[in-house]
Amino acid sequence: MALDFDLTRNAAASFEADCVVVGAFADNTLTPAGKALDEASGGRLARLLSRGDASGKTGRTALLHDIDGISAPRVLVVGLGEAGKFGAAQYLKAVADAARALKTGPVAHALFTLADTPVQGHDAAWAVRQAAIAADHACYRYTATLGKDNKAREGEPGLRRLSVAAAGDDADTALAQGQAIAAGVKFARELGNLPPNVCNPAYLADQAREFTGRFDNTSVEVLEDAEMEKLGMGSLLAVARGSANRPRLIAMKYNGAGDDSQPYVLVGKGLTFDTGGINLKVQGGIEEMKFDMCGGATVMGTFVAAVGMKLPVNLVTIVAAVENMPDADAYRPSDVLTSMSGKTIEVGNTDAEGRLVLCDALTWSQKFKPAALIDVATLTGACMVALGKYASGLMSKDDELSAELLAAGEQSFDRAWRLPLWDEYQTMLESSFADVYNIGGRWAGAITAGCFLARFTEGQRWAHLDIAGSGSDEGKRGMATGRPVGLLSQWLIDRSAG
């Protein structure tokens, strides 16, 4: 269930809610709203902090009850850490800590006041927007495939509504943007978390049709085997050969600019399950390969966010939805494939399938004459080795586009890190039997994957985001994160403002 949000400028002490959320720093000083509550209570909050009943240390929360002078029956004090180091990471953690503390229990409606606290490097509108995104993310529950007893937990008490205390003319816009981005993140997470026996290529196409059918300025185009065969997509179709679940190439279109301006085009890898093919994944982790479509899920989530924000841009979101399975008709190592571009590809490893799917999708995407072309993919374990879970890998030969994406990542705190895409790395993809080999060897695996895609985007203002680390968490309790919906949404906000 998504949180409901609204904006208020009313005084916290007299606000009617089940709980008021305030912050305290490590030196026991309170945020502005916290000071107002402390004054209304005759110094009660300060006394509770000084004797240790609440704490300003990072990660601490304390739920206080029935404070005289405060209308709400509860006050949640959230630790913010050192006052001089209160930046984006600390703020987002505090929002998530507060939401998780109230996610279950008797508090259905809370007043959130932390957006009144200055965050280093960011304005108040940013704090409002990110409060909606971070709180909704923290309160996310997956229930789609739970049994009826567990699914019944949806009806249990818990946080349902968050009123955000904020001033300023742009607070309303910021909150609306935050809600739209939160909806996009949730859309992406839900697709990523669904099991592969539910979320297959046809399901993704159905979800695209359902969403675009809600609006007059959105539409969808779905290609199936026969159309892709006519277009010469021999690379994408080779990956799909071993699966009973037939592929789909999905293009969601949003006309937000109201004119014929060039669209921004996002292309997502949608491997709804990746066994590795004939190079079967035997090293472990195959059970997490339902997340191999998180690139596709996040570009669809970004589309949802852009439509929700009513951004004045034109946007095309393309998802190459395929399942990679081994059977008697599966493609093999040493096969030579002919891509839509006409370039031939020698298969060195059938588990390097994402780039084989993306290369045809990227070639097809150029019919839309993109103002900028960005692909998003859980492409290489090598990127996760290099950057871990915190940063997405960014590769591009366009310095300006790279700078735009890096800046959007910093602004949204959905960060990326640029890796080189030098021509010297291209030599690692040489083949004696085709125009290009689909793997580059042991070293620089994330970069050579980017170099492979670069061969199919010549002449385009293009960037590649590898989200193998950032797109999902690990382990049997791990879930899709919804990244980089935040980064891409911020990038589109910036483009619409420009």
Range with the poorest average pLDDT among 29-33, 101-105, 146-150, 436-440: 146-150
Catalytic residue among 160, 281, 310, 332: 281
Range with the poorest average pLDDT among 190-194, 260-264, 412-416: 260-264
Q: Give the per-residue pLDDT at 380.
A: 97
Q: What span, in angstroms and rounded, lies between the C-alpha atoms of 378 and 308?
A: 25
pLDDT in tens, 338-382: 999 999 999 999 999 999 999 999 999 999 999 999 999 999 999
CA nearest 323: which of 382, 218, 244, 398?
244
Single-letter amino acid, residue 158: G
> How many distinct helices (H) and strands (E) make up the chain?
15, 17
Cβ–Cβ < 8 Å for 451, 425: yes
Reported as type and span, the H/E element at residue 496 is helix 485-497
Is-catalytic flag, 281? yes
Global confidence as pTM: 0.97
DSSP one-letter string for 395-441:
E-S-HHHHHHHHHHHHHHT--EEE----GGGGGGG--SSSSEES---
Catalytic residue among 355, 397, 415, 455: 355
Mean pLDDT for the stretch of residues 329-345: 98
Question: What is the four-CA torsion angle of 313, 378, 353, 242, rounded to 10 degrees?
Answer: -90
What is the percentage of the chain residues whose pLDDT exceeds 90?
Answer: 94
Q: What span, in angstroms and rounded, lies between the C-alpha atoms of 260 and 282?
A: 49
DSSP code at position 73: S
Cβ–Cβ < 8 Å for 474, 288: yes
Instruction: Output b/e per residue, 59-68; b: 16+ Cβ within 10 A.
Output: ebbbebeebe
- SS3 label, residue 326: coil
Helix axes 171-193, 201-212, angle to 10 degrees: 150
Q: Give the per-residue pLDDT at 476.
A: 84
Q: Would the pLDDT of 154 be above 70?
A: no
Q: Output the average pLDDT for the chain.
A: 96
Cβ–Cβ < 8 Å for 267, 373: yes
Q: How confident is the model at residue 119 (pLDDT cuts 50, 70, 90)?
A: very high
Alpha-carbon Rg for the chain, nearest whole angstrom, is: 24
Strand partners, 364: none
**What distances in angstroms separate CA 129 from CA 76, 154, 212, 489, 491, one per listed residue?**
21, 26, 25, 12, 15
Q: Give the per-residue pLDDT at 14.
A: 96
pLDDT in tens, 251-270: 999 999 988 899 999 999 99
Q: Would the pLDDT of 173 be above 80?
A: yes
pLDDT in tens, 59-90: 999 999 999 999 999 999 999 999 989 999 99
Q: What span, in angstroms and rounded, lies between the C-alpha atoms of 70 and 204?
A: 49
Q: How confident is the model at residue 113 (pLDDT cuts 50, 70, 90)?
A: very high
Q: Would the pLDDT of 453 be above 80?
A: yes
Query: What residue spans of 22-87 are helical by DSSP H?
Result: 32-40, 44-50
Q: Which two tokens stand for residue 373?
A: 């072309």
Cβ–Cβ < 8 Å for 489, 305: yes
Cβ–Cβ < 8 Å for 340, 231: yes
Q: What span, in angstroms and rounded, lies between the C-alpha atoms of 102 and 39?
A: 25
pLDDT in tens, 215-264: 999 999 999 999 999 999 999 999 999 999 999 999 999 999 988 899 99
pLDDT in tens, 10-37: 999 999 999 999 999 999 999 999 999 9
Q: Would the pLDDT of 153 be above 70?
A: no
pLDDT in tens, 462-484: 999 999 999 999 888 899 999 99
CA nearest 386: which of 294, 429, 449?
449
pLDDT in tens, 295-305: 999 999 999 99
Residue 21 phi/psi, 5-degree rounding, is -100, 120
Q: Give the per-residue pLDDT at 475.
A: 85
Neighbours of 475 (CB within 10 A): 7
Range with the poorest average pLDDT among 40-44, 255-259, 451-455: 255-259
Q: What span, in angstroms and rounded, lies between the C-alpha atoms of 485 and 177?
A: 13
Strand partners, 393: 417, 466
CA nearest 79: which of 53, 93, 60?
60
What is the arrangement of strands in the sheet containing 248-255, beginning at the earlier edge strand?
A: 218-223, 248-255, 314-324, 264-274, 372-377, 462-466, 392-395, 416-418
Q: Give the per-residue pLDDT at 122.
A: 96
Q: Would the pLDDT of 156 be above 80?
A: no
Query: What residue spans of 281-376 are helical by DSSP H?
Result: 294-309, 354-365
